[in-house]
Amino acid sequence: MAQEASSSTSSKTISLKTGDGEIFEIEASAAKQMKTVQRLIDDLGDDITIPLHNVFSKELPKIIEYYKKDITGEITKDFEAEFVKDLNDDEVKVLFLAANYLDANKLFEFLSQNIADRLESKSVEYVRKYFGVENDFTPEEESKLREERAWSFRGIKEDE
C-alpha cells in the first residue's frame, strides 16, 4: 500500500471517459499537459475515471496521440504536418475546441496555426461560412468595404 502511494506518476495511467461513454487511458504525464484534466485529477483523485463531458470518442484518440509524442519529445514539423494532413475542416475545428476545453495549450496553439493556414488567402464569404457567422453590416457599409477590398486585392474572386 505504501508503495502504491509513493509510486511515481510517470508510469501511472489515468482513465478518461468521453461524453459518449467510452474510456481511454493516458499516461499521467500526458494528463498533466491538459490542465482541465489535471484539475479534475486534483479534485477527484487519480484513481477514478475522469469524466470529460464535452470531448468525444472521435477526437480524444487523436489528442492522446499528440500528447504521447509530446512527452517523449518527438514532436517535429513532419509529425505535425502528418497529424493534420488528413483532417478535414470540421475535424480540425472539433479538435481545436476540444483542445480549448481541455486547456491543452500546445495542441491548442498548433491547431490555431493550422486553422489560420487554412483561412489564408480565402475570401470573406469562405471565412464567414467556416466560422458560421453572418454578415451584419448594413448594405452601405458592405458596399464600401467591398470597394476597398476590390482596390487592394485586384482580381481576387469573392467566393473562392
Question: In terms of CB distance, is 27 or 50 closer to other proteins?
Answer: 50
Question: In terms of CB distance, is 13 or 101 closer to other proteins?
Answer: 101
Min dist CB 133 to other proteins, Å, is 5
Helix axes 89-102, 105-119, angle to 10 degrees: 150
Question: In terms of CB distance, is 45 or 155 closer to other proteins?
Answer: 155
Min dist CB 6 to other proteins, Å, is 32
Question: In terms of CB distance, is 68 or 146 closer to other proteins?
Answer: 146
Min dist CB 9 to other proteins, Å, is 24
Question: In terms of CB distance, is 65 or 158 closer to other proteins?
Answer: 158
Residues forming the site for other proteins (CB under 8 A): 19-20, 36, 53-54, 56, 89-90, 93-94, 97, 100-101, 103, 108-109, 112-113, 115-117, 119-124, 127-128, 130-137, 145-149, 151-156
Q: How far is CA 79 from CA 70, 82, 146, in A?
A: 11, 5, 40
Sheet of 23-27: strand order equals 23-27, 13-17, 50-51
Handedness of CA 116, 117, 120, 123 (dihedral sign): negative
Min dist CB 77 to other proteins, Å, is 11
C-alpha cell at 118: 487554412
Q: How far is CA 48 from CA 5, 43, 51, 67, in A?
A: 15, 11, 9, 21
Query: Could you tell me if 34 and 67 are in contact, meaning their C-beta atoms sit under 8 angstroms apart?
Result: yes
